[in-house]
Amino acid sequence: MENAVPEKRSPFATEPIGRLIVKFAVPSVIALLVNSLYNIVDQIFIGNGVGYLGNGATNIVFPITIIALALAMMIGNGGAAFLSLKLGEGNTKEAQRGVGNAVMLVTVASLVLTAVFLIWIDPILTLFGATDTLRPYALEYGWVIGIGLPFMMISGAINSMIRADGSPKYAMFSMIIGAVLNVILDAVFIFVFEMGVRGAAIATVIGQVASFVVSVAYMPRFKTVHLRAEAFRPSGKTCGSIVVFGLSSFITQFAITIVMALTNNLLAQYGAQSIYGSDIPLTATGIVMKVNQIMISILLGIATGAQPIIGFNYGAMNFNRVKKALEISLIASEIVSVLAFLLFQFAPMSVISLFGSEDALYNEFAVKAFRIFLMLCPLTGFQTVIAVYLQAVGKPIKSAILSLARQIIFFVPAALLLPRTLGVEGVLWTGPVADGLAFIMSLALLLYEREHLKKSHALQSRTA
C-alpha cells in the first residue's frame, strides 16, 4: 500500500472509544451549532428590532442557505469520509488527493450557486413561498446573503476535513469566531445604525468571511497529509468518490429545502383559509423548523464526530471498535432528542418568546406548531446516527436512501394529502408521520448492518 501509515500509531485505533467520541463530537457539535445559529441569531435580533415580517423574510431566504450548506456538507463530509477510509487503509497519497479535490470542488460549486441565486433571485424567492408583503424584506436580506455563500460553503467543507485530520478544536474555533462577530454586529447594525434586515445580513456575511479566513489558514498545516499542488489537480474518479460518500449529507440537507419550499407554499395556501391568515403560519412554522435545525445540528455533530473513528476502524477492520462507536453515538443522540422533546412539548413559549413579543393568535399557532410538528423528534437522533454510520463505512447508497425516505418519500405525500382534510394543521402533522415511518426503515437497516458486522468480525477471528 502506497505511503502506508502503521495503524498502531493512530489514536483512532488505540484510544478508548468514549474518549475519542467526546474529543471529536463536542467540537463538531459546537461547530455545526454555530453554523445553524447564524440564521437563528438573525431572527432573534430581527424579531425584536423589525418584527415578525422581517423574520418571515429570513424564512423565505433560508432554503438557499440550506442548499449551500447541503453542497458544502456533501463535499466536506465526502472528503472527510474519503480521507478517513484511505488513512485507515494506509494510502496517504489517495487521502491527500481527496482533500485537494474536495477543496477545488466546493470552490467551483459555491461560485456557480452564487451566480444562479443572484441572477434569478426574484423567481427563486417566489418558489420558496414569498408573499407580496414579505417580498421586499426577502429581497433586501437575500441579496447580501447571496454574496456571502462562497465564504460559508468553502469554510464549512474545509472544516469537515479539519475534524477528520484530527483537529476538531481548530474547526470549532473557526466557526465560533464568525458567530461571535455575527452576534456583535447584529446588535450594532440593527439597533444602533437601524439597518433592519440588510444589517443582519451584512453581519452574517462578515462572520462567514472571518470563518473562511481561519479555515483556509489551516490548509498548509494538515497533519495526516501534505497538500502539494498535484493534490488539487481534478480527478474524475476522486471527485466521484467524494460526491458519492457525501451524498447522504447532501440529501439530508437539500431535502430540507424541498420540505421548506413545499411547506411554505402549503402554509400560505391553507393559512389563508384559516383564522391565522398566510403570514402567521409561514413565520411561526419557519421558526419551528429553524429551532429543530439546532437539535439536528447537535445530532449531526455527534454523528460526524464519530464518523472518522468509525471510518478509520472499518477501513482497518477493527469491527469491535466500530460497533462500540456506533452504540455510544446512538445513546448520546437519544439523550439529546428526548431532552429536546420535553422542551418542545412542555415549554414551547420559552422558545417562542426569544423571537419577539407577538399577539395571542400568533403565539397560539406557534405553540401548536412546536407540539405537533416535533411530536416524534426523539426518533430523529436514531435516524441521523444510522445515516452517518452508513456513510462512514462506505455504504453511501443505503445512507442516501434513508435520508431521502424521511424528507421526501414519506414527507411529501403526507404534506400533499393531510392538509386536504385537516387544513393548515395538516401541514404540521406531516412531521410526526414522516419521522415515524423513517424510524422503522432506519431500524431495519441497523439490524441488517449489525448482522453484517457480526459476520465480518467472526470471519476476521477465524482467519486471524
pLDDT digits over 416-433, tens only?
999 999 999 999 999 999
Query: What pLDDT does 99 receive?
Result: 95
Range of weakest confidence among 111-115, 196-200, 210-214? 196-200
Query: What pLDDT does 290 receive?
Result: 79
pLDDT digits over 447-457, tens only?
887 777 777 66
Identify the top-confidence range among 171-180, 214-223, 284-293, 299-308: 214-223
Query: What pLDDT does 7 receive?
Result: 43
* Alpha-carbon gap, residue 208 to 188, rounded angstroms: 17
Sign of CA dihedral 122, 127, 133, 134: negative
pLDDT digits over 202-223, tens only?
999 999 999 999 999 999 999 9
Query: What pLDDT does 169 receive?
Result: 86
* Alpha-carbon gap, residue 393 to 387, rounded angstroms: 10
Given a cut of 80, whether residue 257 has pLDDT beyond it is no
- Computed over every residue of the chain, the mean pLDDT equals 87
Given a cut of 50, whether residue 18 has pLDDT beyond it is yes
460 pLDDT band, cuts 50/70/90, is: low
- C-alpha 202, offset from chain centre: 22
How is 14-63 classified by DSSP, letter by letter?
HS-HHHHHHHHHHHHHHHHHHHHHHHHHHHHHHHHHT-HHHHHHHHHHHH
Mean pLDDT of 329-348: 95
Sequence spans of domains, the chain: 15-463
Mean pLDDT of 232-254: 85
- Nearest CA to 354 out of 34, 45, 30 is that of 45
Query: What pLDDT does 432 receive?
Result: 95
39 pLDDT band, cuts 50/70/90, is: low
